Amino acid sequence: MNAASFMVISALGFSLMALCVKLASLRGFPVLELIAARAMVSLILSYWDVKRLGISPWGTQRTLLWLRGIVGFLALIAVYKGLTLLPLAEATLIQYLNPIFTALLAFLFLKEKIHKNTFLCLFFGLAGLLIISQPQVLGGQPLPVEGVLIALLGAVGSGAAYTILRRLSNEEHPSVIILYFPMVCLPATIVFGWQSFIMPTGWEWVLLAAIGVFTQIGQVGLTRGVALASAGRATAYSYIQVVFASILGAIFLGESLSTSTAIGASLIIVGALINNRKQE
């Protein structure tokens, strides 16, 4: 399989994960329980991968590894909460603003240079966000402000997690970095959320497990895709996730893609592709 195939599989995996989160939230499951379900599956698969490779699961930069896990956990709370408050396509699009925040945070903390393409990405991304969050300008129904702000916070948190990941990637094995995420998420969700957990019944067990399985499929596809092509070329294919999210939202949730979302999506994706050009 080539890079494009892996990235399409990754996009489909993450889209199905988002759909499962949305469906589970409609069944009344709280966000922390959804994260716990994802973390349980991820912990089992990630630990198996580390043992298979015969490497230490603890790494060497443990402070940064724990920090990456904590930041990622907080970001995931916002991402999942945004999915529960917004239509699938809109929540997915706002999450695609995270490269902007990654670039800005990497400049502040890692002293990485900000290329002019990143400024263009920032312009297009913010313009797209404005159109998506204010659809009434084009005759659409306004989105809940709380949902937009929480989803945007998720994108900022993801950018922070990716910035720490960049710092760790030169010294730690990717499998170790991935393992720390569920090592933080699972105990944290149990400690802070067990009081509101709901006991699944019947197919709900499958739905919760699917969140973790589809997440793992998305992560594996992303890792393989980036390994087979430059980051810019590979991640360009990932934007098909917006298409998958729109289709899944329409089929399973009865959502429709508004004109404002289509225009905003075009601007955000154009900005992201321009930003990726510097990586070629």
For the stretch 52-109, pLDDT in tens is 999 999 999 999 999 999 999 999 999 999 999 999 988 988 887 887 788 888 888 8
Residue 29 reports pLDDT greater than 60: yes
Q: How far apart are CA 171 and CA 174, in angstroms?
A: 9
Take residue 27 and report the two structure tokens written for it.
């069944």
Residue type, 249: G
Residue 106, pLDDT score: 84
Residue 139 reports pLDDT greater than 70: no
Percent of residues, the chain, with pLDDT higher than 90: 46
Of residues 246 and 121, more confidence is placed in 246
Residue where the block lists tokens 């945007």? 152
Three-state secondary-structure class, residue 89? helix
Residue 137 reports pLDDT greater than 90: no
Sort 191 into a burial class: Cβ within 10 Å, 0-12 / 13-18 / 19+. exposed
Of 151, 167, 165, which Cα lies nearest the Cα of 78? 151
Of 8, 11, 19, 14, which Cα lies nearest the Cα of 249? 19
Residue where the block lists tokens 């949305």? 22
Of residues 114 and 278, more confidence is placed in 114
Residue 98, pLDDT score: 80
Residue where the block lists tokens 């990143």? 118
Take residue 173 and report the two structure tokens written for it.
């094995």
Residue 201 reports pLDDT greater than 70: yes
Residue 151, pLDDT score: 94
Helices of type H across 54-173: 62-85, 88-95, 98-109, 116-133, 145-169
* Biggest CA-to-CA distance, the chain: 58
Local confidence band at 47 (pLDDT 50, 70, 90 cut-offs): very high
Residue 16 reports pLDDT greater than 50: yes
**What is the overall mean pLDDT for the chain?**
85
Local confidence band at 280 (pLDDT 50, 70, 90 cut-offs): very low
Tens digits of per-residue pLDDT, 211-263?
Answer: 999 998 888 877 676 556 554 455 556 677 878 888 899 899 998 877 888 88
Three-point CA angle 172, 220, 118, nearest 5°: 70
In the 8-state DSSP scheme, what is residue 203? T
